[in-house]
């Protein structure tokens, strides 16, 4: 499979401020978030590791440096001593993001420490609940690995069909547990071990198919040594199985998508002024007129949109987000395309469960393109995100704002918003606190003795 162009050097204008020597926490969070986005864009595939280990190691070092810088930025936020609700929320979010980075880097004990800090700050909120779930999941999956490895290793003591079946099931569960821990490379190794040792078992094609899925949709590795090769092997070695048919379909669809992405990337490069782009990436102010050939900017816009759509098909949200961000930052003259890109960035974060980042993405749309055709949709989706993170007062405010934007017949989600606002405004136990206030405080609207503190 032809290697795709790796875009590793996006322009990132890290927001800086020197107002009285103080950087707002929101800016620190935003700067750290962008470091994480940059790190996620560095996707190192197995072909590169085998063909150019030096280059692969350089990229790993760069990725780790970006994560280290992000952790440093988040740590600054956690050290704030102010006690306002906004500051507490920033501190909690910073701890959560640090935990996510540690989990991504397989530093699970460090991840647990910061997840616990999230729980300690606000156990009943969205992030508190998520963090508690992650702690429980890490501990459960670690225990599963130990127990299932013991079963697998004991199979040689008694060579019977039953013991061999137990060994296969145990090895499969070990791989599944590592998936739960986010250690996809080790999960792949265990799935492949199952295929090597028990090639005739029904779990072999399923395991190999999962190897392909992990490479494609978690590690973003589409090479012959990675996901592509795994799917080809499923189709070839396990012909006639369900997994074989699925692999053949996926390969055909992916080949077309990846080829189109490559063609559009080549097209962007063809019409890009490389010197101007280098200046842009160095932080210099460069307009889209300088970046792209005159008369070709609309074509470049379409290329970026196609690239992003292709990456979405591949469920590669970091690359899709980057394509939309490049469009929104480099082609500001096309206001419609810029607004569409800003909306899509928020939507991608929402689809990926990153609700706080989605809220910020939609907020950026309101700031840069307040009259966009995406405005109504973005207001509603922002309200949905607030509801998802259990900020019910803000969700209620945004649902009401959405209902006031236009005539009810012109608003796609008017009835849904109206129903939610009515629910939020209930006071079933007649204690003076509405349902949304009880929900946000973690109290019950069915019991007048359970109510928020005034």
Give CA separation, 453 vs 41, 94, 105, 390, in Å.
Answer: 45, 26, 40, 17
The Cα–Cα gap between 307 and 8 comes to: 15
SS3 of 211-259: the string is HHHHHHHCCCCCCCCCHHHHHHHHHHHCCCCHHHHHHHHHHHHHHHHHH
Residue 436 pLDDT grade (very low, low, confident, very high; cuts 50, 70, 90): confident
Give the position of tokens 């490049």.
326
Residue 444 pLDDT grade (very low, low, confident, very high; cuts 50, 70, 90): low
User: Structure tokens of 83?
Assistant: 């006690």
Residue 159 pLDDT grade (very low, low, confident, very high; cuts 50, 70, 90): confident
User: Structure tokens of 289?
Assistant: 């007129």
Residue 158 pLDDT grade (very low, low, confident, very high; cuts 50, 70, 90): low
The Cα–Cα gap between 448 and 348 comes to: 41
Q: Is 38 helix (H, G, I), strand (E, B) or coil?
A: helix
Residue 157 pLDDT grade (very low, low, confident, very high; cuts 50, 70, 90): low
Give CA separation, 50 vs 1, 56, 57, 221, in Å.
Answer: 15, 9, 11, 13
273: left (phi over 0), alpha (psi -120 to 50) or beta: beta
Encode burial over 351-368: b for 16+ CB neighbours within 10 A, e otherwise.
Answer: eeebbbbbbbbbebbbee
Number of residues assigned to the chain: 454
Give the position of tokens 């907020």.
363
Provide the whole-model pTM. Answer: 0.87
Q: How confident is the model at residue 5, as a pLDDT?
A: 46
Q: What are 111-140's pLDDT values in tens digits?
A: 999 999 999 999 988 999 999 999 999 999
Residue 21 pLDDT grade (very low, low, confident, very high; cuts 50, 70, 90): very low
- C-alpha of 322 from chain center: 12
Contact, 93 vs 101, CB < 8 A? Answer: no
Residue 9 pLDDT grade (very low, low, confident, very high; cuts 50, 70, 90): very low
Q: Which residue has the higher pLDDT, 197 or 157?
A: 197
Q: What are 301-353's pLDDT values in tens digits?
A: 999 999 999 999 999 999 999 999 999 998 988 999 999 999 999 999 999 99
| Per-domain residue ranges of the chain | 13-122
């Amino acid at each position: 499979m032809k290697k795709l162009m790796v875009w590793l050097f996006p322009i990132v204008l890290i927001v800086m401020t020197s107002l009285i020597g103080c950087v707002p926490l929101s800016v620190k969070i935003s700067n750290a978030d962008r470091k994480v986005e940059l790190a996620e864009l560095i996707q190192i595939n197995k072909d590169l590791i085998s063909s150019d280990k030096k280059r692969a190691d350089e990229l790993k070092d760069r990725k780790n440096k970006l994560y280290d810088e992000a952790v440093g930025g988040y740590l600054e936020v956690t050290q704030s001593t102010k006690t306002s609700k906004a500051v507490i929320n920033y501190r909690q979010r910073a701890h959560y993001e640090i935990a996510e980075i540690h989990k991504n880097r397989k530093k699970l004990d460090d991840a647990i420490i910061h997840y616990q800090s999230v729980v300690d700050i606000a156990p009943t909120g969205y992030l508190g609940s998520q963090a508690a779930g992650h702690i429980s999941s890490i501990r459960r999956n670690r225990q599963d690995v130990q127990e299932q490895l013991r079963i697998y290793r004991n199979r040689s003591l008694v060579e019977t069909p039953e013991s061999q079946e137990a060994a296969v099931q145990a090895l499969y569960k070990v791989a599944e547990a590592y998936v739960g821990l986010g250690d996809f490379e080790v999960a792949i190794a265990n799935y492949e071990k199952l295929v090597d040792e028990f090639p005739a078992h029904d779990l072999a094609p399923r395991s190999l198919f999962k190897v392909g899925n992990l490479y494609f949709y978690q590690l973003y590795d589409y090479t012959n040594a990675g996901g592509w090769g795994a799917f080809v092997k499923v189709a070839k070695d396990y012909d006639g199985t369900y997994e074989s048919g699925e692999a053949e379909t996926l390969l055909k669809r992916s080949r077309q998508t990846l080829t189109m992405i490559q063609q559009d990337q080549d097209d962007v490069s063809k019409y890009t002024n490389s010197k101007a782009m280098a200046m842009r990436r160095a932080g210099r102010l460069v307009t889209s007129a300088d970046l792209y050939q005159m008369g070709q900017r609309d074509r470049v816009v379409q290329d970026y949109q196609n690239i992003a759509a292709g990456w979405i098909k591949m469920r590669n949200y970091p690359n899709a987000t980057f394509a939309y961000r490049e469009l929104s930052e480099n082609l500001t003259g096309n206001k419609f395309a810029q607004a569409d890109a800003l909306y899509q960035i928020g939507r991608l974060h929402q689809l990926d469960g990153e609700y706080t980042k989605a809220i910020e993405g939609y907020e950026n749309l309101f700031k840069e393109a307040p009259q966009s055709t995406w405005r109504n949709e973005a207001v509603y989706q922002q309200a949905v995100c607030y509801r998802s993170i259990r900020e019910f007062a803000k969700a209620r405010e945004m649902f009401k704002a959405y209902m006031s934007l236009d005539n009810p017949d012109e608003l796609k989600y008017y009835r849904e918003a109206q129903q939610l606002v009515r629910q939020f405004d209930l006071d079933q136990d007649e204690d003076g606190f509405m349902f949304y206030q009880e929900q946000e405080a973690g109290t019950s609207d069915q019991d007048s003795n359970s109510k928020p503190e005034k």
